[in-house]
Amino acid sequence: MYRICSFFLLALAAAAQPANQPADVIWSGRYVITMDAQRRVIENGAVAIRGDRILAVGPKAEIDARYQAKQRLDRPEAIIAPGLINTHTHAAMSLFRGIADDLTLQDWLTKFIFPAEAKNVTPDFVRWGTRLGCLEMLLSGTTTYTDMYYFEDVVAEATKEAGMRGVLGETIIGFPVADNKTPADALVFTEKFLKRFQNDPLIVAAVAPHALYTNSDETLKASRALANKYQAPLVIHLSETKKENDDEQAKRHASPTKTLDDLGVWNGRSVAAHGVWVSEADMAILKARGVGVAHCPSSNMKLASGVAPVTRMLALDMKVGLGPDGPAGSNNDLNLFEEMDLAAKLQNVTTMNPQALPASQALEMATIRGARALGMEKEIGSLEAGKRADLITVRIDSAHGQPLYDAVSQMVYALKGSDVRDVMVNGKPVVRDGKSLTLNEQAILQKAAEYRAKVSASLKN
Ligand SMILES: [Zn+2]
């Protein structure tokens, strides 16, 4: 009799509330910033995860009632947010951090970076440089990054080792570099790379011609054709400096955006870094072709490249993300919290309008809009059921984290990358309590010191 009764009661309870569904992990926090379509911020919220996907997001009490998790992480003094998305960088250049500062892009590149790269860039350099970059990015809450460098197969291996998500492309450039001596070699390398990382859970292989001014028209067309053959994104630098535009005007009486459009380079998934010197007509082209733009405020400010018309891009609902660009002289770090803060303030001060780029839009650019820029918005960029489990916790129990009136404002204007406490990518914890679980921090810092000595010596010869 008792058995029948208890069975009956359990059945009734199950009908009312589908309790105890299995989950692998539940994370709870004081606030969950979802970045979903309603931009919900849930106070005392939680996220349930199974495998590499998010099962559900909601109030903690509701999630706890519905799901039984094998593991849980409760952070009553933290914000849970989507992992941040970096849409443009060169991670391995971390080993050149601070090598030469306070120069124009042209001087910095031709007098320091290109010679230093010629003497130092090897697979080992790229492996340790990428590990250092991934360590910095993960510890400051970036879960996906977009990269363009050399030995990109090694970059991909180091990224997978870190457990990070990467949109990665081998630089295709019109002069001999460390790994490929010609653009044709780089294209062959890229095709092998695209094949090797097809359907990888973490790596999206891309095609990465450096820029219009460093490649022939033939190379640019071949890059687009190759990207489309593998449904891969094409990533490129675009109108970063006024000089780039002036040169193209002198050469063809057109803007770089227009020339690339005429060459068919925008006919497919594309991400253009910088877009500082783009006109209204250029923006119309980029919008029509669905090109993602990687806005890099620190880099543009440090190199005095100019101010990208981001407020206008957002008004046009263009796909704009954020990137720290180079850690070696054009930034010099890989911290997206800083990019969010500067993106907002740069637009405000240059338009003399404190509402030009509000905090909510800055956070959007670092999350869901950045995902759109990469063509990955169905998978990442917000905390929603069915999406990949890429999320972070950010502590708010600090002098600069309290009091908290608005979690989004706090993320953009007050909290720092160093406040990131836990990071999960693709359902796997990669940072716990501010410590990397995947990378050997001590070994990486040791190697960074060794490379500093090597690089310094090489520049004296
Ligand atoms: Zn760049």
pLDDT tens, 270-303? 999 999 999 999 999 999 999 999 999 999 999 9
What does the alpha-carbon distance between residue 2 and residue 18 come to, in Å, rounded to a whole number? 23
Does an H or E element contain 391, and which? Answer: strand 391-395
The answer to whether 384 touches 36, Cβ cutoff 8 Å, is yes
Å from CA of 284 to ligand 1 middle:
23
pLDDT tens, 376-397? 999 999 999 999 999 999 999 9
- Beta bridge partner(s), residue 221: none
pLDDT score for 266: 98
- Residue type, position 258, single letter: K
What Cα–Cα distance (Å) separates residue 105 from each residue in 109, 147, 160, 249, 275?
6, 19, 31, 19, 15
Residue with tokens 């204007």: 413
pLDDT tens, 127-169? 999 999 999 999 999 999 999 999 999 999 999 999 999 999 9
pLDDT score for 110: 86
What Cα–Cα distance (Å) separates residue 422 from each residue in 5, 49, 75, 248, 438?
45, 15, 10, 46, 13
Å from CA of 192 to ligand 1 middle:
23
Å from CA of 39 to ligand 1 middle:
31
Average pLDDT over residues 181-207: 97
Å from CA of 49 to ligand 1 middle:
35
For 60, phi then psi, to 5°, come to -55, -45
Please say if the pLDDT value at position 313 is more than 50: yes
Å from CA of 280 to ligand 1 middle:
23
Å from CA of 240 to ligand 1 middle:
9
Å from CA of 402 to ligand 1 middle:
35
Terminus-to-terminus CA distance in the chain, angstroms?
Answer: 91
Name the band, by pLDDT with cuts 50, 70 and 90, for residue 14.
very low
The answer to whether 148 touches 126, Cβ cutoff 8 Å, is no
Name the band, by pLDDT with cuts 50, 70 and 90, for residue 11.
very low
Å from CA of 201 to ligand 1 middle:
25
Please say if the pLDDT value at position 31 is more than 80: yes
What does the alpha-carbon distance between residue 69 and residue 46 come to, in Å, rounded to a whole number? 12
- pLDDT more than 90, % of the chain: 89
Do β-strands 320-322 and 234-238 pair in parallel, antiparallel, or remain unpaired? unpaired
Å from CA of 32 to ligand 1 middle:
32
3-class state of residue 179 by DSSP = coil
Å from CA of 88 to ligand 1 middle:
6
Please say if the pLDDT value at position 4 is more than 60: no
pLDDT score for 113: 87
What does the alpha-carbon distance between residue 166 and residue 447 come to, in Å, rounded to a whole number? 23
pLDDT score for 17: 55
Average pLDDT over residues 63-86: 98
What does the alpha-carbon distance between residue 274 and residue 339 come to, in Å, rounded to a whole number? 13
Å from CA of 114 to ligand 1 middle:
13
Average pLDDT, the chain: 94
- pLDDT more than 70, % of the chain: 96
The answer to whether 392 touches 81, Cβ cutoff 8 Å, is yes
Average pLDDT over residues 231-246: 97
What does the alpha-carbon distance between residue 420 and residue 19 come to, in Å, rounded to a whole number? 32
pLDDT score for 9: 46
Please say if the pLDDT value at position 211 is more than 60: yes
Å from CA of 380 to ligand 1 middle:
23
Å from CA of 196 to ligand 1 middle:
24
Å from CA of 370 to ligand 1 middle:
16
Å from CA of 108 to ligand 1 middle:
13
pLDDT score for 111: 85
- Residue type, position 206, single letter: A
pLDDT score for 259: 98
Å from CA of 89 to ligand 1 middle:
6
Å from CA of 189 to ligand 1 middle:
20
Average pLDDT over residues 107-134: 92
- In degrees, to the nearest 5, what angle opens at C-alpha 42 toward C-alphas 39 and 43? 145
Å from CA of 103 to ligand 1 middle:
15
What does the alpha-carbon distance between residue 275 and residue 270 come to, in Å, rounded to a whole number? 13
Å from CA of 85 to ligand 1 middle:
15
pLDDT score for 8: 45
Name the band, by pLDDT with cuts 50, 70 and 90, for residue 212.
very high
Average pLDDT over residues 423-452: 98
pLDDT tens, 361-370? 999 999 999 9
Name the band, by pLDDT with cuts 50, 70 and 90, for residue 326.
confident
State the greatest distance between any 2 C-alpha atoms of the chain, in Å, as a whole number: 93
Average pLDDT over residues 350-354: 96
Average pLDDT over residues 211-224: 98
Instruction: Write down the pTM of the prediction.
Output: 0.95
**Burial degree of 15 (CB within 10 A; 0-12, 13-18, 19+):** exposed
Å from CA of 81 to ligand 1 middle:
26
Å from CA of 221 to ligand 1 middle:
20
DSSP per position, 265-310? TTSSSEEEEE-TT--HHHHHHHHHTT-EEEE-HHHHHHTT-----H
Name the band, by pLDDT with cuts 50, 70 and 90, for residue 44.
very high
pLDDT score for 166: 98
Å from CA of 51 to ligand 1 middle:
34
Average pLDDT over residues 16-44: 92
Average pLDDT over residues 179-197: 97
Å from CA of 330 to ligand 1 middle:
9
Please say if the pLDDT value at position 2 is more than 90: no
Q: Is the dihedral of CA 184, 186, 187, 192 positive or negative?
A: positive
